[in-house]
Chains A and B, each alone.
Chain A
Amino acid sequence: MSQRKKRSRGLGQLLIPLVAMGLLLIFNLFRDPGFFSIGIATNNSGNAVLTGNLISIIDSASELAVISMGMTLVTAACGGQDISVGAVGAISGAVFAKVLLGFGSITGATVVLGFILSVLATILFKLFNGTLVAVFRIQPMIATLILYSCGRSIAYWINGDATPQLNSPILSAMGMTIPGIPIPTPIFAVIIVGALMALIFRLTTTRLYIQSVGINQGAARLNGINPVAMKLLSFALLGVCVAVAAVIGVSRLGQLNHKTLLVDIEMDAILAVAIGGNNLGGGRFRLSGSILGAYIIQMLTTTLYAMSVAPVNVKTYKAIVIIIIVVAGSPVVKAKLTALLNRLCYAGLPSSAHKGVN
């Protein structure tokens, strides 16, 4: 029985998001089988690219998927969410653009340099948040409210009023497709970041440490784990994710707009974490759940667009679906459903049998 419990706990967290995604896919299958068609088209620069709704979902959810991975770590370690990722992402984009514009020419070397500097700057800003949270013990949401309200202004200050255009084949290869490879490049970025995270958590004890800090900070400290260091680490990793997402966002558009880059992504990222079945109060986490959550959100948006819902009305339907998903995942509803299921399966047996199953 204990084995069965263990197995169900492993899948349990992913059950709701998997079912949600499956329902969305089935819904699309009945609505319009053409939704799943994947074709090859030639884009403006003459490259063969894969087209189709599925590709566009996976492609355009890249920034969200990357950020929600980092958000999961911060949530797990600190028991709170970072609401400044969009604003700090604008800063990383601004640093990236500043470096490229400063050199005047966009070559492979300057792009790499710009990326590295952007990552460093973002980590710096995230460590500011992290210090407030870890050392000063301020609620994450409040601590990140500071950069939420002034982050985009800092991005504006770095680059001036303009929305600089960054046209270069290198950037379009990073943001759209590399010539010769029909798969959009941002997908590779998600895979690389995900693989690196998986490596970190497989090869080191970081996962255990972060979880134990999130579950009980005092107990973790008594066991020799430094809670401050773990929280700072989670914020630094989130910083890397934000910088990657910002660079994808800038190169996708070929320009930097500090007002619209990664706008409102913090809310979607927190939603992705929650839909993925992670506890927003910290503790155990699954990155795969959050990534799945990010793709569900994007699939929902794309499905609504494909049903020709006006873009301004998408939010309403999104809200309704989110409420349904979180209600289905709520512990109270889950317990009720399990009880109902047990009663159906063991209808004729005396009550001791129910207890044996539970």
Chain B
Amino acid sequence: MDTGLLIQVILSGLSVGAIYALVAVGFGVIFNATGAINFVQGEYVMVGGLSAAMLYEAWDVPVLVAIVAAVALTVLLGVLTEFGLLGFGRLRTPASITIATIAIAVIIKGAAMLISDRDTYALPSVLGAGSLQVWGASTSRQTVLNLLLAVVAVVALALFFQRTKLGTTLRAAAGDSETLQTFGVSYRTTARWAFVIAAALGAVAGAGLAPLTVMSFDSGTLLGLKGFAAAMLGGLGNPRGALAGGLMLGIAEAVMSGYGAAAYADVVAFVVLLAILTLRPTGMFGTAQAVRT
């Protein structure tokens, strides 16, 4: 057995898995606040990655500045998503909100297609192009950065939820948003913050992904679905589960590419999703909860 190849496969799996994990955490944050699945999540990754790359390539903006601007733009898009979904007071059930997120995802993707004119853009790594040697395998610096990014994001988010007033309020909203409203906190306020956090996570994922691949207007959809699979794998609404689910899905895909057929790598996520939904719908780290209707 070639250990160099194995380590290579695992490293590449972890770096892509870190991106899935960030997307999965975003799904969970919005699910906790609204009960809905936000299918715009993948588009946040696309907007974050594509706008950073476009700013860098087309407008010569320095890489770090481009990333910060891209995150800000994506967060704004998150706020607009919340307004589009809940601002008109028409959508009241998680199911109707979920369906509407699909529409918003299509609109964002369409707008990105027009703005980018279907071109692809690339972003260099903030750490430069050099590679690292890890136990005889060579990997890009960006790979390691992405893994760090995902771990830091999950730890920071966990601290935010445990230690801050806003984080505690969001946990209370996840538990019983109606009762929280009777203490003067509007549903819109908690939902808006959830979208801000989810969009920021998506944008960071996009900025981390862009140096590993090229970005185009349709980079988001498949990523969104894979992130959703990772979220289901780890248990929706559980950040640590999302991290584990994302990393496992990334490794499973890399193993398929490295040892099986690379052409089928994309299928792995959906086989995992199907298996989880059939065998353990609460996710590996989730627990079943009674829902009062």
Do A and B truly interact?
no
Binding site for B on A (CB under 8 A): none
Binding site for A on B (CB under 8 A): none
